[in-house]
Amino acid sequence: MVKSFSIGVFGIIFDKQNKILLCHRRDYDLWNLPGGGLKPGESILDGVKREIKEETGLDVNISKLIGIYDKPEEKDIVFSFACNIIKGKITLNNEADKIEYFEINKLPLNTVPKQIERIKDALRNSKKIIIKKQTEKTVKMTSRGEQKNKQDFY
């Protein structure tokens, strides 16, 4: 029996003041790191660059793999990368209606908890790649503030 899973790729981008770049989703009232699902046949490095470009309008280089996150209940594996902007201008799009930098201690309340954990992992600035299991159930908020579980959310 072949078990299928999805692969997520996300960029962690800090500005010079150490603020984190987050995107506000159009489909749900949530803030998250720029990123998403890998396309079939796509490398994880190309995937994270593509996702960041699609969601923010920015071109990046990848400076470091921060962590690999196993989400067994959701059948997901997620890679988080530290990225640096090389060119581009923040541009709203069909996936993000707001794109902003936030101070770490002032993240929006509706930031995805698993992604907050990944941001904190990036701030540790460890020389080792973080490998961990994330088992907390994912909660999404609809535009009306209703909680909704969703299995395919990273």
**What is the rounded (10 degree) CA torsion for 141, 20, 40, 27?**
20
Please give the C-alpha separations between residue 83 and each of 31, 48, 53, 135, in angstroms, as whole numbers.
Answer: 18, 9, 12, 26
How far apart (Å, rounded) are the C-alpha atoms in residues 12 and 59? 13
CATH homologous superfamily for 6-149?
Answer: Nucleoside Triphosphate Pyrophosphohydrolase (3.90.79.10)
Q: Hey, which bits of 26-95 come out as E strands? A: 31-32, 35-37, 58-71, 76-88
Separation CA 13–CA 88 (nearest Å) = 14
118 residue type, one letter: R
Write the DSSP symbol of residue 150.
-
Return per-residue pLDDT of the chain as tens, 154 residues: 556 889 999 999 999 999 999 999 999 999 999 999 999 999 999 999 999 999 999 999 999 999 999 988 888 999 999 999 999 999 999 999 999 999 999 999 999 999 999 999 999 877 899 999 988 765 544 444 444 444 334 4
pLDDT for 147: 46
Domain ranges of the chain: 6-149
Q: What's residue 125's pLDDT? A: 75
